[in-house]
Amino acid sequence: MSPELEKFLYGVLGGGVAALLFKLFDSYIIGFRVSESILAKKKFWQYSKALWFDCYELKHRLTSIKQKISNGNIDNNLEPLRFKLSQPIQLDWFTKGGYYATSTAYLFASVSSWIRLFQRDVVFLDFGKQNLTSNFFNIAEDLKNSISSEQSILWYHYFTGIGEIIIDQSQKMPLTFSSFTIKLYEDDNFRKYFEQLFYFLDNIVTKRQSKLIQEVLDSLDNTLTYLSQNSSIPKNTRYKAKKIS
C-alpha cells in the first residue's frame, strides 16, 4: 500500500472517530446539561409561584401592622401579637382571639419554608447562562438578613429553622395553616420552638419597630419583583390577600 493511500485511510478513520466522539459529547454531555437546565427552570417556576403568593400576603400583613403602629392603634388592633406561647393556651385561641398572631407567624414560617425547599431542591441543578439560581439565592439572602437584622430578635439560622420544621416531607410543601395550629397546640416541643417567633411579633409592637418592618417590606418588594420577572407570574398581577389584615 502506498504511503499516500495509508495517509488517506488514516485520515478518514481519524475523522470518523472524531466525529463519533463529538456526536457522543453533543448527545450525552451537552444534551444532559440542556435537559438539566430545563428541569431547573421548571423547579424555579414551580416554587416561585408559591413563594410569590406567601411573600405577597406577608407584605400585605406587615404593611397593615406598620400602618397601625404609625396611627397608634396598638392596644385594640395589635394586642394579639403580644401573646406569649408560654402562657396557658386552648386550641380555639389559635382560630379566634389569637388568629391574627398565629396567621402572622405562619406567614413568616411559610415564606422561610418555600425558600428552604427551593434551595434544597435546585442548588445542584444547572440553570445555564441566566444563572437564575445564584441570583435568587442573593435575593433570598437579602430577605433573610432583613428579617434577622441587628434590630431584630430573630436570628438568621433560626429563621431558616422555622421554615425547615414546618416542611411536610411527603408533600414537599409547608404544613397547612390548620396543621400548623393543631401542631402548636398538641406538640410541646414544636410550640417551644416557635416561642421566639411570637416574642419577635410582640417585640415589633412593643418597641414600635416601624423601621425594621420597612426593611423587611423593601426586601419583600425586591423578592416579588424578581419572582414576577423570572417566572410565569404576570408582572401586573394584583393578588388580593384573603387573610384578615
pLDDT tens for 42-82 read 777 778 889 999 999 999 999 999 999 988 877 777 888 98
**Domain-embedded: residue 105:** yes
Residue 147 is which amino acid? Answer: I
Residue 23 lies in a domain: no
Do 109 and 180 touch, CB atoms closer than 8 A?
Answer: yes
Q: Is residue 115 part of a domain?
A: yes
177 found inside a domain = yes
Weakest mean pLDDT among 76-85, 201-210, 227-236? 227-236
Residue 22 domain-assigned? no
Query: How many structural domains comprise the chain?
Result: 1
Task: List, in sequence order, every beta strand (DSSP E) within the chain.
Answer: 167-168, 173-174
Q: Decide if 40 contacts 122 (C-beta within 8 A).
A: yes
pLDDT above 90 (res 209): yes
Q: Are 177 and 103 spatial neighbours (Cβ–Cβ below 8 Å)?
A: yes
Residue 101 within a domain: yes
Domain span holding position 111:
42-229
Condensed to tens digits (0 to 9), the pLDDT of residues 168-189 reads 988 889 999 999 999 999 999 9
Is 49 a member of any domain? yes
Query: pTM (2 decimals)?
Result: 0.78
